[in-house]
Structure formats: C-alpha cells, structure tokens
C-alpha cells in the first residue's frame, strides 16, 4: 500500500509540474526538493553458517511465472508500482536535462551512416552482408551469388520481422550446405530464449518447424536436413541439452544426443571450420570437455576428445588428420597442441606453439598454408602469422599506444588473405585484409563518422601505468581532445569491467565523442579480474582475491588524481553487469573519490544470488565468485558484496540502470540496492534508477534506441559538471 501511495505522489508531482507556466517549465528542478519513492520494508531473515542477514527488500523478487501472468498478483503489483515510481522520480529529477539528452541522442545518431552496410564475406559460393536503410532500426540480412554479384537476395527482413514487437532480436543464422535453407533464432522477450525457425531460400517460405527455448543457433549436418541445437533449462536458463532435429518433424520427436547433468557446466554445439566435424562442448569457468561426430554421418556415435578434469581447459578445431587444441595443460598462459584424430586424449598432445610465461595465447585461426595466432603481450592484443613449416613467422605491426586488433570472419580455408579488425581510442574501427605472404594491407572499410569536425588527429591517447597498493603496475588507457586543459578541474570518466578474464579493450566509440568534445577525459583501467596482462591477471582478481579488482580501480583513480588529470570533485566511474559489482564495491570502499557513478545492470546482491541455484548463471559461476555454501567464500563475499555493505554514510551521485526482463542480473538486485542506499545514505546527492520495463540485460533492441540510455548517462555526468549544452 505504501508503494502505491508513493507512486500516486509522483504522478501528482508530474501533473503539478506540467501545469506550471511555460516560463516556469524551463527552470531546473532541484532533485533535493522532490520526494523520492520509499520502498516498503518487509524483513526477511537469511541465515547461513550461524550468520544472520536481514533483507528488508527481499519481497521485490518475482518468479518468471509472476512476471508473465496476465493479471498481476498483489506482490507483482507492488513491485511494478515501485519500479514505475523510481522511473517517474528519475524523469522528474532529470527533466531539466531533457533538451541536453535529446541533443546528445541526436548527436550520436547523426554521426552514424544511416544507409550503411557491413563488409561482405564469402562462404560456399555466396557473398553475405547486412545493410541498413535510412529511417529503419533493424538490419536487412542479404546475400549475392559470387557469379552474379548484381542480384541481391534479402534472406531476412529485420524491419518487417520486428513490427509489432517492443523488443526484437535475431540470433544465430546458419545456412545449409546446399545453400537452400536458412535456420535462424528469434527473441521477442529479451530473455535470450530463442525460437529457431527455418526458411526455404528458393521459395522464400517459412517452414512449419519451430524449435522453442533454444540458444538461438542451429548447426547443419552435411545432409541438408539434420540439425543440432542447444536448449535451456526453463528456470535457470542454463544450456543443458543438445538435440538432433530432422526437418519436417515436430520438436517433440527430436532425439536428445547429449545432456549436461553437472549444474556447474553448460553445453553448446558448433561445426569445425573444415566443415568435417560437428562438436559438442561442455564448459565451466575452469574446465571443458568436447566430443565430436563426422558431419556426413549425423546418426553416428559421438566420440570424446578428452574427458573433463578439474582446472583443465581446452578448445578444438580441425585441420587435415589432426585436431588442433588450445589448452592450459601445464601452461598457465595456454599453448597450442595437435593430436591425431585417432588418438585424442591428452597424452597424445604435441606442442605446436609452446607455453610462454609472458605471452597469453588467446586464440588461433587455421588456413591451408598458414596458422594465425592471437596473443596478448604487455597488455595488448597482437596477431602473429606463420606458415605451417615455420617460415615467414611475423607479427602484424600497429602504431597506436593503446588499440585492439583481432581476426574477424575468415571462413575461406584455402587463401593467403586474413581479414581482421583494428580500432583504437582515436581510430574508428577498420576492417582490413592482410596478405599473409606479401604483408600488404587493404582497408576494406573504416567506420564513417558523419561529423564534419571529426578527425582522428584531433584526439590524443596515452598508455599509463599506476602502481597499486601491492606494488603491481596496472595499465590505464586514456583519450582526450587536443587542446583540453588537463588539471584538477578536468572532468574524467574512468571505466572498467574486471571479471571472467574479460579484458577491457581500448576501442573507438563515436558516442564517446560527445564527452570528449565537451572536455571530458575518458580512461579505461585494465584491472585484475580481466586478462590483459596474462592468465595470472585473471586469477589474481577472482574468488578469494576478488578485492584486488576493486582496490586496483580505486588506486587507478587515486593515481589519475595525483597525476593532475582530475580531482574527486570531477571524477566519474562507470561499469556494467560484473562491472556494476565493481561500481557498488568502490562506492562502499571509497565513496569520496567519485563525484558520480553510473552502474549499469549491476550485480550487487552477491551472496543471495549465489546462494540461489534457481537463478540463471548461478551454478555456472561458482568458480568465478565461489560457492557461499562454503563458509570461507560466504564470509569473503559478505565482506565486499555491495548490497550487504551499504551503510549510513555519504555516497556519490549515482545513476543505476536495469531491465525488468534481465535474465543475467535480475532487476531486483539494482532495485533492492537503490532502496537500501536511499534508506541509509546521509547525503543529498542524486540517486536515481532507470528501469526499462520492456528489455533485458543488453538493453533496447533496434539500431538507435539504446543510445537514449547512453544519452541519459552522459547527461547525468554533464549536469553534475554544470554543462548545459
């Protein structure tokens, strides 16, 4: 009832503001004069290891059944009322920035070419690409026959398919070997539970076959009628089963070919680049396992490559008579090995690229005459090219102090041409073809920035190193506009992620120009928990060393202040998902260092989520965070969990974003967090939440709609800086 009263109050406030004169409407509304929504408190006693936590906002959690009910029950209605009240409060508190948000959004959209198209790639006699038509939010998926380049086939019409859907996303697309059939996934809810459908590319008709509750991708056998696909557990959304489907049959008749019964693993299916083998992979944070069949015999018996072992990771591709395997077996930074197809277990693995202490082997790409290795050296990606006989071994050279480069779509096996993408903090993303024999490069396309004032030469990037509290040097990538005065008054946004071994890459963003052109410095902290400096970088930022992630970020912030790039009055922090956990932790640990924080879809209720194995991703992530059913991990998690460590003190200005349909970080985590922050914080700083009631973890669908949230985030920071334009 209290929530409904709060919601009524906010609606009344909006009505009151709307009734003011035009002159009064233009005045800024001070958030401190507006009453924020106050969530009701229903104490829930949570007990583990003789420890008791009281969660006053536990009631905000809803089941999928409750969320999907046509008529909401009382609890669901209370949750909806509260989320809507937070949205309305945010709208009122930020109303004076509406024109700024619109200007930012229009800027971002104006920089993007409206009738753009991707660089085509060739596959099995066709050239494939996507293109956009001006005024449309979704892509057209197209192909042309290589011997008839003038005739375009639109194989999927995104704008037409998205009609009447508030959210729409196309998942994996897979073409049969005879080029006549297309399998594709569709998600209209934003829960990443795709329906796989099929299209006859000769007639244009959709087949009657529909595969529900899938990962979104199907893999064709070479008979053009048999497919393999992964389904998800209906509650946890873990990919746990692989099925075989024969076109023309009902999904209920599909054969279960593999079930992953270990709840800490998920499974997936793919085809080797050679198209000869179909692979089923089982994956956990620290362990993997693969099995295979010949793609010509889809009814054959699956064979195991190497049985799973704790802490043994490997990935597989095929070439000639061998499987090529990237593995951490006796190799912290991974090595590349090969093994005969007839003898695949680990005792048969022979080094192709041995382990190196200071080089992380991230991936590999196989060609008929060449092997391409993606490595990470001194925190930056490199691309290494070598012939199978060892000749002409070299690295592609890059000039920027901080950049990202990686092989992209390379489906052609018998070629000397490698396609890769390159980007830096100052250089728009380029798609480049590289001749592995002559070393000649051809830029196929550089991202167009439709701004007559833009030039990559207008901006400066730097690579700095902050020595953090335990003596480790942490890289920081920085970009700013030339001519900007760097001082304690310079606004600076520090971003990072820092989990799962996912590295924060220094890439270009045309959206970011809206900050840089207004005098912001943008910085990326390459903190532990990522994998920038090698595998140890990840291992030193997870489990019982997770706090290194948070202290690294704080120490990078302190370093930027001490070096004169900014000051706490003008420094902002941003991170999303597990990076949102980072934001929550640094707000608790050193709130005075930040003038503002943007926490996107933040994972902040660590213990309660990891204790509940019905929540998507929980069991799969025990090796990342630990299992709190173990007392040691419980106590460590409790010492940093953002939600559990909110206390009565001053916090920085904060913008939190979430999505009601988020399957990865459920909406109730940020909703509970903001309620607790508002209850306990002792300051008058702005605290708002934007909950998109139609989307999930990835935000809005469509080409430009997501820019509105970016505009909100930028306006939030600019407003705190007193920037009006």
- List Cβ neighbours of 154 (8 Å cut-off, separation of 6 or more): 140, 141, 142
Q: Measured between alpha carbons, how far is 572 from 598 in angstroms, rounded to an integer?
A: 8
Set 697, 701, 713, 719: catalytic member: 697
Set 282, 499, 577, 663: catalytic member: 577
Active site residue 317: no
CB-based contact 361:333 (threshold 8 Å): yes
Q: Measured between alpha carbons, how far is 89 from 102 in angstroms, rounded to an integer?
A: 19
CB-based contact 231:213 (threshold 8 Å): yes
Q: Which two tokens stand for residue 273?
A: 């680049």
Q: Measured between alpha carbons, how far is 694 from 187 in angstroms, rounded to an integer?
A: 13
- Distances in Å between the alpha carbon of 561 and those of 485, 500, 557? 14, 28, 6
Q: Measured between alpha carbons, how far is 401 from 330 in angstroms, rounded to an integer?
A: 32
CB-based contact 582:549 (threshold 8 Å): yes
Beta strand 653-659 with 687-692 is parallel
Q: Which two tokens stand for residue 581?
A: 């956990």
| Residue 609 backbone dihedrals phi, psi, to 5 degrees | -70, -45
Burial class (CB in 10 A: 0-12, 13-18, 19+), 607: buried
Long-range CB pairs of 395-402 (<8 Å, 24+ gap) are 396/420, 396/434, 398/422, 400/424, 400/425, 400/426, 400/427, 400/461, 401/461, 401/462, 401/463, 401/477, 402/461, 402/462, 402/463, 402/477, 402/506, 402/524
Report the chain's C-alpha Rg in angstroms. Answer: 26
Q: Measured between alpha carbons, how far is 647 from 449 in angstroms, rounded to an integer?
A: 45
CB-based contact 304:289 (threshold 8 Å): yes
Q: What is the DSSP letter of 132?
A: -
User: What 3-state DSSP class applies to 348?
Assistant: helix
Number of H helices, E strands in the chain: 15, 37
DSSP per residue over 66-115, as a string? Answer: HHH-SS--HHHHHHHHHHHHHHHHHHHHTGGGHHHHHHHHHHHHHTS-TT
- Distances in Å between the alpha carbon of 694 and those of 166, 185, 668, 706? 7, 19, 15, 12
**Helix%, strand%, coil% for the chain, nearest 5:** 25, 35, 40
Active site residue 342: no
Active site residue 32: no
| Residue 613 backbone dihedrals phi, psi, to 5 degrees | -80, 0
699: left (phi over 0), alpha (psi -120 to 50) or beta: left
Q: Measured between alpha carbons, how far is 253 from 209 in angstroms, rounded to an integer?
A: 12
Positive or negative: CA dihedral 561, 564, 565, 567: positive
CB-based contact 162:702 (threshold 8 Å): yes
595: left (phi over 0), alpha (psi -120 to 50) or beta: alpha
Bridge partner list, 183: 174, 198
Set 644, 662, 692, 719: catalytic member: 662
Beta strand 403-407 with 417-424 is antiparallel
> Which residues are known catalytic residues?
577, 662, 697
């Amino acid at each position: 009832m209290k929530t409904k009263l709060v919601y009524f109050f906010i609606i009344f406030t909006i009505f009151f503001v709307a009734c003011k004169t035009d002159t009064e409407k233009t005045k800024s509304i001070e958030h401190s004069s507006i009453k924020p929504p106050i969530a009701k408190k229903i104490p829930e006693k949570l007990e583990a290891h003789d420890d008791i936590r009281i969660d006053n906002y536990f009631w905000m959690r809803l089941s999928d059944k409750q969320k999907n009910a046509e008529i909401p029950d009382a609890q669901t209605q209370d949750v909806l009322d509260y989320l809507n009240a937070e949205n309305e409060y945010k709208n009122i508190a930020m109303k004076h920035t509406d024109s700024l948000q619109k200007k930012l959004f229009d800027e971002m959209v104006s920089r993007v070419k409206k009738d753009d198209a991707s660089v085509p790639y060739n596959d099995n006699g066709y050239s494939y690409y996507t293109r956009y038509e001006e005024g449309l939010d979704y892509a057209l998926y197209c192909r042309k026959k290589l011997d008839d380049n003038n005739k375009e086939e639109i194989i999927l019409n995104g704008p037409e398919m998205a009609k009447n859907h508030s959210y729409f996303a196309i998942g994996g697309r897979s073409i049969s070997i005879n080029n006549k059939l297309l399998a594709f996934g569709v998600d209209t809810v934003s829960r990443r539970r795709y329906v796989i459908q099929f299209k006859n590319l000769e007639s244009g008709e959709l087949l009657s076959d529909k595969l529900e509750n899938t990962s979104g991708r199907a893999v064709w056998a070479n008979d053009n009628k048999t497919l393999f696909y992964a389904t998800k557990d209906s509650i946890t959304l873990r990919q746990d089963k692989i099925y075989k489907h024969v076109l023309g049959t009902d999904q209920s008749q599909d054969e279960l070919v593999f079930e992953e019964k270990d709840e800490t693993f998920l499974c997936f299916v793919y085809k080797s680049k050679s198209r000869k083998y179909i692979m089923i992979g089982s994956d956990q944070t620290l362990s993997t396992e693969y099995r295979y069949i010949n793609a010509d015999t889809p009814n054959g018996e699956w064979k195991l490559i190497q049985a799973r072992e704790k802490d043994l990771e490997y990935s597989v591709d095929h070439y000639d008579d061998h499987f090529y395997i990237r593995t951490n077996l006796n190799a912290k930074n991974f090595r590349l090995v090969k093994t005969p197809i007839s003898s695949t277990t680990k005792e048969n693995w022979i080094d192709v690229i041995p382990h190196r202490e200071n080089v992380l082997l991230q991936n590999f790409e196989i060609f008929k005459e060449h092997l391409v290795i993606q490595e990470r050296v001194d925190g930056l990606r490199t691309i290494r090219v070598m012939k199978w006989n060892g000749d002409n071994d070299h690295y592609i050279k890059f000039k920027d102090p901080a950049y990202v480069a990686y092989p992209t779509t390379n489906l052609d096996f018998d070629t000397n041409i490698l396609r890769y993408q390159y980007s830096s903090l100052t250089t728009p993303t380029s798609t480049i073809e590289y001749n592995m024999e002559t070393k000649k490069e051809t830029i196929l396309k550089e991202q167009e920035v439709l701004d007559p004032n833009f030039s990559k030469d207008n901006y400066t990037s730097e690579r700095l190193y902050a020595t953090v509290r335990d003596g480790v040097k942490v890289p920081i990538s920085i970009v700013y506009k030339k001519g900007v005065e760097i001082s304690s008054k310079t606004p600076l946004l520090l971003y990072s992620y820092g989990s799962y071994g996912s590295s924060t890459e220094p890439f270009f963003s045309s959206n970011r120009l809206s900050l840089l052109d207004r005098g912001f410095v943008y910085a990326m902290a390459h903190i532990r928990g990522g994998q920038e400096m090698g595998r140890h970088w990840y291992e030193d930022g997870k489990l019982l060393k997770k706090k290194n992630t948070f202290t690294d970020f704080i120490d990078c912030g302190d370093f930027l202040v001490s070096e004169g790039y900014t000051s706490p009055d003008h420094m902002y922090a941003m991170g999303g998902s597990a990076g949102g956990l980072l934001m929550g932790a640094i707000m608790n640990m050193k709130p005075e260092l930040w003038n503002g924080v943007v926490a996107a879809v933040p994972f902040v209720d660590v213990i309660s989520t990891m204790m509940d194995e019905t929540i998507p991703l929980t069991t799969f992530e025990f090796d990342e965070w630990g299992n709190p059913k173990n007392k040691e991990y419980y106590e460590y998690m409790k010492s940093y969990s953002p939600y559990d460590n909110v206390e009565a003190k001053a916090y920085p200005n904060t913008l939190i974003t979430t999505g009601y349909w988020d399957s990865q970080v459920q909406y109730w985590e940020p909703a509970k967090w903001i309620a607790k922050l508002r209850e306990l914080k002792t300051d008058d700083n702005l605290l708002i939440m934007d909950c998109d009631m139609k989307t999930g973890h990835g935000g809005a669908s469509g080409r430009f709609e997501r820019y509105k949230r970016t505009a909100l985030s930028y306006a939030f920071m600019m407003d705190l800086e007193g920037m009006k334009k």
